[in-house]
Structure 1
Amino acid sequence: MSKIPTLADRLNKARTPSTPEVSDRAKRGLVAYIGAQPDTARATKDLADGTAATGIGRVALSGLSPQGLACADGCAFCCILSGADGGTITEAEAVALHSALAPLAGQPDGRAWHPKACPSLDPETRSCRAYEARPMICRAYVSTDVEACKSVSEGQAVPGPGTLGPYHTYLAAIGLSRAALKGVKRVSTYALAQVAAAAVDGVSLDEALVHARHKPTELDAELKRSKRDISRV
């Protein structure tokens, strides 16, 4: 009788399009995470909805103290989103974001300040109204130059803004989770902008998740973009 592979076995064999260093870091974090869970069912659920990947990313961010950042409350040029997607987030992050914004349904949102702004914003103060529930992409995106952020929001490629390393580890962890759970449980990602807009427009969580769910190829594309970003550093 063949041995049934454990989650740890599946993770150790999993591959994802990232640099070896980032992939190994994410894999070690995931194996440690599932080892700390009370049972396989809980570990599987946390891998599938991105709780594990998000946790690993946030722990890594908490150990960083970047110097010279220009980020401040109300400086929201980074919240002017490109395209209709706005960023890749996990199911756990999508649920938390929708829950934080749903009570604000019907109120003016960031799009009253700028048509491409994140709906999470207060249009008057430009502060995030879902700050505690903001996804990893929001937590990890920083800048040393406000004018550079403004230029990026206008479509210009300039130095200054960028994502911190833990974001890349988080993405790799999602990719590894998907590979490890292939044939066992679906691991989906979602469009940040669509989830936020659905919440403030009064759309239910279930419906928001259906319409904001990415095609599987989107995560692969984001991982490849992440790998290119790392190679430029």
Structure 2
Amino acid sequence: MDRAVKLSMETGHRDDCDDYYEPTHEQLEAAVREAYTSQVESDWEERSDPDHMALMGLGGKKSAKTYRKEAKRLRQAASVGDYSAADVDYWSDHFRFRFPENNVKRNRFRQLLAYAYAEVIERAAEHDLGDRSGEPIMPELRSPRMTVTTTPLPAQQAAPNVIEQTYAKAEVPKLEELWLSHVRQRGQGVKAATLTDRLVSVQLFAGYVGHEKSVAQITKEDARMLIVTEN
């Protein structure tokens, strides 16, 4: 609940109803990826405060075991059509989605969210052990082969092609994925504190340019603008 409130405040949630729209299937998947990423990042941020971790009982093998057990339970529930873990109303409102009554897309959105939440819990188990390199099993949560818009287009404009460019994941990763590759290849011998400081810089920049942007879409001008903004 705290995470939902925090996310709502950070993203400038609005109460107006003029811009609600029925999403495409691609937009549903993009929204689920964003919801998953935000929850995983929020969980990791919680662990930056040792006092908070101690208070909440986070960290260590015991906590990780509890989270893994819960993730397994949620996956099993979703596999038999129990999507009760998904707060589809909250996320529909967050992304400004409007579904007609008994719409199949709404049920699909709820299904994806339920599986995504199980993945979030699995990442929490990994975070308990200090591991942030975990990848979701669910293919819809991995780097998309296409970039889609998750906001509605003005009614007076014709809908453009929302597929900006198609890339294979291995060819054009996102900035944070490239960071993981950097740590694996060049992190040996580098102090943990140094890597942590570098990761903070990478995360700040990723937050500035957009977490869903591939490195092929990031320009030197983006870096210059961030420096100007911070100064």
Q: Report the TM-score when normalising by structure 2.
A: 0.26
Q: Report the TM-score when normalising by structure 1.
A: 0.26
Greater RCO, 1 or 2 (C-alpha within 8 Å, sep 6+): 1
Task: Work out which of the two has the higher radius of gyration on C-alpha atoms and give 1 or 2.
Answer: 2
